[in-house]
Amino acid sequence: MDSTPSPDRAPEPSADLLRRQAELNEIGIALSQEKNLDRLLESILLAAKKITNADGGTIYRRHAASRNTLNFEIIRTDSLGIAMGGTTGTQVPFAPVQLRDDAGQENTSMVVAYSVLKDCTVAITDAYQEEGFDFSGTKAFDQRTGYRSQSFLTVPMKDHEGEIIGVLQLINAKDRTTGKIVAFSETDERLAQSLASQAAVALTNRLLIIQLENLFESFIQLLNQAIDEKSAYTGGHCHRVPILTMLLAEAANRTSAGPLAGWEMTDKDRYELKIAALLHDCGKVTTPVHIVDKATKLQTIYDRIDLLDTRFEVIKRDAEIELLRAKAAAAPAEAKALEEAHRERLRKIEDDRWFLRICNVGSEAMQPGAAERVHAIARKYRWKNWRGEEVDFLSENEVENLTISFGTLTAAERRVINRHVEVSIRMLEALPWPRHLRNVPEFAGGHHERMDGKGYPRGLKRDEMSVQARIMGIADIFEALTAKDRPYKAGKTLTESLNILGLMKLNGHIDPDLFDIFIRERVYENYAREFMDPKQVDAVDVKQIPGYSGD
């Protein structure tokens, strides 16, 4: 049952042993270089079969959470043409092996469970003659397929902490000369144990890397969630920009025409760009939420337009008091004229109130003369504040906000918003990035730069920026144009958004070659299907888009 010398398992010639040890060394090097988990598991089993000349084999992995089950990962049986798991795309249909039952009783009747529970290698010469284990399932399989599962070699796989993370099981060793099924030799056992040890190290390393990457990405999502809690609008932006970034990057990667025809991405490049896109607005975690979410010009923690409404009511009350006083002092014949003048005064007050309400929205550019009227209203009415002081109707800050020419942000507030890029760069440059992610700060920090050098925060020009940073610039703008969840504007249609992008190409704002790819490869369509309201998705005539030089 276990690894004890027997006449059936004689030592092999030294020359063959040296050859197989050399193979083992080569296998160990190959395993250490494999990055894909499925290919790694597959390579482990194929290598074990080759080095022991086994007809079949299985790799089991211990369930990471419960630790009480062994899952089938890879199955191979050459003579039956069976290949499941790994890169085959065929799922293994067998239920996991339980190490203990519900009562906690150890399952020592199955070889793989016994190998884990007792932490030992199990070598079996002939399953049909073995009385120590339950091979009823194996025999049923043999009966269905006409196979004969005879010799077994089961080796536990331990990580660097001595924890068993899986099991390597080989079936039916074949004599290298005659092809006859024989017992696994002592050499087979030693080599399989050595391979299992190397494989466990390689598998553990790969799993640790995957876990660290998952932890890192989860931390990024946690950061974006924190931003999302501050602002649902920014949170949606942090989710959509990475998706659009990768859509455009893949389009540029596969393009065969134009200046970017030779630009290509590896899997590492893709991952690096994805991380940069996820982190491109991380600095917004420091941006005050009342600025990020400023839906109207007078909004701070709340919309101050309600204060103006209250003041207008005070003005109207004062006007009514003046009317009553005037009527009390005037002759009865003058009352009608006084009331008519009062109604006209109230009409003008109400007209001014609604004018300021319209100015407060900020979704469109202010009409000519509107700012002057705001200033006039500020001086036109006088009212007493809580100190009893007579003051202008509008404060300087209120006038400044209500006269914003476009949008809802003052120049100072826009500087606060823009500062998030500098904060993002400082945050990202402070991190000890591994070599394959060293460009993340540059990719993420350049999405507000312009091709003509008029962007921010560093005023970089096109040739001073990576292709990836230029890709993110377009993704960031297009997402903002089409976003349907902004508090201060409605999302634009595809045609409107592409026309604006085209004008940005012409005025040196965005990369012209990437813009052409964005249009030619219809990246906007793929994005629109998932993230835009159907009402926004109109028919686009690419020939009418400004600056587009494609077919």
Task: Give the tens place of pLDDT for each residue, 99-151.
Answer: 998 888 999 999 999 999 999 999 999 999 988 899 998 999 999 999 999 99
- Residue 158 and residue 484: Cα distance in Å, rounded? 53
Does residue 405 register a pLDDT over 80? yes
pLDDT in tens, 425-454: 999 999 999 999 999 999 999 999 999 999
Structure tokens at 414: 């826009």
Domain chopping of the chain, boundaries: 14-209, 231-289+412-544, 305-408
445-478 per-position pLDDT tens digit: 999 999 999 999 999 999 999 999 999 999 999 9
Handedness of CA 62, 66, 69, 73 (dihedral sign): negative
Question: Smallest Cα–Cα separation from 318: which of 349, 351, 355?
Answer: 349
pLDDT: which is higher, 10 or 5? 10
Q: What is the pLDDT of residues 27-85, one digit of tens each?
A: 666 666 666 778 878 888 888 898 899 999 999 988 877 789 999 999 999 999 999 99
pLDDT of res. 1: 45
Whether the model clears a pTM of 0.95, i.e. scores above it, the answer is no
Confidence of residue 377 (pLDDT cuts 50, 70, 90): very high
Pick the CATH number of 14-209 from 3.30.565.10, 3.40.50.720, 3.40.50.2020, 3.30.450.40: 3.30.450.40
- Give 246's Cβ-side CA count (13 Å radius): 16
Q: Residue 3 pLDDT > 50, yes or no?
A: no
Across 4-13, 44-53, 263-272, 434-443, least confident range: 4-13
Q: Which CATH class, in words, describes the domain spanning 231-289+412-544?
A: mainly alpha
CA distance 443 to 276: 6
Least confident of 1-5, 24-28, 76-80: 1-5
> What element of type H or E holds 545?
none
Long-range Cβ pairs for the range 98-107 (8 Å, 24+): 98/68, 98/69, 99/67, 99/68, 99/69, 99/70, 100/68
Tokens found for residue 275: 């991380």
Which residue matches tokens 């103006």?
A: 308
Q: Are 475 and 469 in contact (CB under 8 A)?
A: no
Output the CA–CA distances (angstroms, integers) from residue 470 to 23, 463, 531, in the order listed.
Answer: 48, 10, 22
pLDDT at residue 191 in the model: 86
d(C-alpha 157, C-alpha 538), whole Å: 58
Residue 408: HSE in the Cβ half-sphere, 13 Å Cα cutoff: 24
Predicted pLDDT at 4: 43
Mean pLDDT of the chain: 88
CA–CA gap between residue 277 and residue 440 (Å, rounded):
8
